[in-house]
Amino acid sequence: MHVTLHRPLIGSLLGALASIMVALAIPPVLQAQDVGQGRAVLVTGASSGIGLRMTEVLAQNGFHVYAGARSAEDLARLDGMENVQSVRLDVNVLEEIDDAVSFVEEQGRGLYGLINNAGVAVIGPLIEMTEEDMAFQMDVNVYGPYRVTKAFAPLLMESQGRVMTTGSISGILSGPFLGAYSMSKHAVEAFTDALAAEMARFGMAVGVVEPGNYNSEIGATLVERMRDGGYDPDSSMFPEEMRGYMERMTQYGEDPEPYDVAEAALDFLTSSTPKRRYMVVPTQRQAEVTIRKAIQELVELNQEHRFSYNRDELVEMVEEALTRLESGNE
């Protein structure tokens, strides 16, 4: 069936998807209550940004948090927090992952939750990016969650626990010069869906949080790495654009603190019906751009092939998805 899709379809789909976003809204956080009941959670990349705020909020709400970090200074600072034990953990180093598993096992608390938060960003035109930079991007953001989840899976299955990975709205969006980062976050979306289907057999819940732009050191760390490596934007085919991107990357510190993202992690770990996806953005514009991109992809998938659906059929599909969501079924 061949159809041409018009703007009224987009309006109907936006309306239905807006209802879905309302259903996905995160409830107010229960601050400083013992909802964690002493259960143990491991947070990777806990030294700053989203990981640090997750550690704070979970610890304040009764969880015992194993906070993964790399530097001695960060480890000591995390140890100074109530309900927090630091764990030396580089998600690229198998020996440190194995040592972290042994450490958690020795504590005797088991492990109820894992939050794969450690992440990095690499920017640049895809046709100019070195294979080393691409591998670094994937090694941390994709192989990191895979390695850590695999290592801690026996403890998590024993507790019928929960696994959340920090994705990004870049796991839905893609754009120039952020291709490698978006590729890694698209992979996190697939990792989440596949892992959720596999772990359901063991009574485990799996989710992903997709933050927008929040206060983070990821951009400043990226630019520092580029400069330390001798990167010169004038060597690019896109010199003006690369200078602009590098400048913007150093401005993430001006964005809001990611407490909303931490509250999403708290909801995931405590809700009787945890969500598969938590999109958390600080502005309406970021939400709109992300939802419109998802709709655009839906329309493109449906365009001009023998099994295309008409407008009413597409709207009915969205309504069915909304009904399943409201009833608690994936």
Domain count, the chain: 2
Distances (CA, A) of 18 to 31, 226, 298, 314, 330: 28, 39, 15, 15, 18
Does the residue 324 lie in any domain? no
Does the residue 196 lie in any domain? yes
218-228 and 239-249 helices cross at what angle (nearest 10)?
A: 130
- pLDDT tens digits, 124-142: 999 999 999 999 999 999 9
The mean predicted confidence, pLDDT, of the chain is: 90
User: What pLDDT score was predicted for residue 193?
Assistant: 98
Q: Are residues 274 and 308 in the same domain?
A: no
Q: Which two tokens stand for residue 252?
A: 């993430």
| Exposure of 146 in the CB half-sphere (CA atoms within 13 A) | 14
Based on the residue annotation, tell me whether 181 is a catalytic residue of this protein.
Answer: yes
Q: Are residues 292 and 199 in the same domain?
A: no
> Which residue among 66, 112, 146, 181 is the active-site one?
181
User: What pLDDT score was predicted for residue 220?
Assistant: 82
- pLDDT higher than threshold 90 for residue 1: no
Specify the amino acid at residue 245: Y
H or E stretch covering 211: strand 205-211
Q: Which two tokens stand for residue 301?
A: 């998938």
Q: Are residues 252 and 308 in the same domain?
A: no
Q: Are residues 263 and 162 in the same domain?
A: yes
User: What pLDDT score was predicted for residue 17?
Assistant: 55
Q: Are residues 40 and 134 in the same domain?
A: yes
- Give dist(CA 218, CA 319) in Å, integer: 38
Q: Are residues 266 and 295 in the same domain?
A: no
Q: Are residues 244 and 294 in the same domain?
A: no
Does the residue 10 lie in any domain? no
List, as one string, the DSSP characters of 75-140.
HHHHHTSTTEEEEE--TT-HHHHHHHHHHHHHHTS---EEEE-------S-TTT--HHHHHHHHII
- Structural domain of 306: 284-318
Q: For residue 227, give every residue at least 6 positions away whose Cβ sits within 8 Å of its Cβ, in sequence order, or none.
A: none
Is 46 in contact with 67 (CB distance < 8 Å)? yes
Does the residue 24 lie in any domain? no
Q: Are residues 205 and 306 in the same domain?
A: no
Does the residue 12 lie in any domain? no
- pLDDT tens digits, 64-103: 999 999 999 999 999 999 999 999 999 999 999 999 999 9
Q: Are residues 144 and 291 in the same domain?
A: no
Q: Are residues 313 and 189 in the same domain?
A: no
Q: Are residues 186 and 211 in the same domain?
A: yes
Q: Are residues 96 and 237 in the same domain?
A: yes
